[in-house]
Structure 1
């Protein structure tokens, strides 16, 4: 039985390697700091290296132990909604604040699926907003207002 290479795995892995490598290279422009006192470039470097390593593992798996898989239809609605949600967050987080921008972004991304009901989407968005606020604003002390100047805060 001859195994075939998996083109989707190789392509996906290559994308991960490119994105991870770009983050790692971009982080070198910032101070890395020390392991006890990490600078602003340390975390992106670490995440970029991990993403690139995972991508390389996916490429190797696709070349060595792949199976024949054909691409299905591309869910263009989901792709468009997720890209729109990320752009929304990037352009509005300073003006709206972290909580409203995160809530709308999470709501948009959950609605990208046709299988998620509106009530479930609101519950998931609320949970993600609370988790993101606790992780980034409280835990990591990200200096961004919870509610921004566009909402009168």
Structure 2
């Protein structure tokens, strides 16, 4: 038995369930095109800035890289929006959004006052609890290792000039 879905025909398995939904995901198409346009906008805005090289980055390097990543992401989303829709999306992960989305904002608000080390530790700790499977001891070990690794790489290996501990902690 075939049922007509504009502009495609969809085969049915006899139980009233569709085996494959050949419809396009309008939401994915719109989001992908929006990503592409935003990426193009920022690439155009950064056009007048000196790009430099990967070792000697100019002020336009990072905006161009981010614009390129956003354009690439938009292309991927558009392609996915035109693919066969095999199964509906699962439930929204509200817990993940509640912990992941504010984490970078928390880092931005505390990095100048607390310094890099405590801000990164606090941000990682907040983000770690986005998963219901994360236990406090595991989170502390994971975030401690991440913080130590980040300090070694960014502070010592790359020599980036930032405060490890900020004025809110008496430093």
- Same fold (TM > 0.5): yes
- Identify the structure with the greater helix proportion: 1
TM-score interval (norm. to shorter) = 0.7 to 0.9
Contact 1:5-1:68 at 8 Å conserved across structures:
no
Higher relative contact order (CA 8 A, sep 6+): 1
Aligned pairs (5 A) from 1:39-118: 39-63=58-82, 65-118=83-136
CA RMSD of aligned residues (A): 2.9
Superposition misfits of 4+ residues, deviation over 6 angstroms: none
Question: Per the alignment, in what secondary structure is the counterpart of residue 145 of structure 2?
Answer: helix
Q: CA separation of 1:91/1:33 partners in 2, compared to 1, >3 Å: closer, same or farther?
A: same
Q: Whose radius of gyration is greater, 1 or 2?
A: 2
Contact 1:6-1:69 at 8 Å conserved across structures:
no
C-alpha distance in structure 1 between counterparts of 2:146 and 2:48, whole Å? 29
In the alignment, structure 2 segments of 5+ residues that lack a partner are 1-10, 12-19
- TM-score relative to the length of structure 1: 0.77
Q: Number of residue pairs matched?
A: 151
C-alpha distance in structure 1 between counterparts of 2:24 and 2:119, whole Å? 42
- Identify the structure with the greater strand proportion: 2
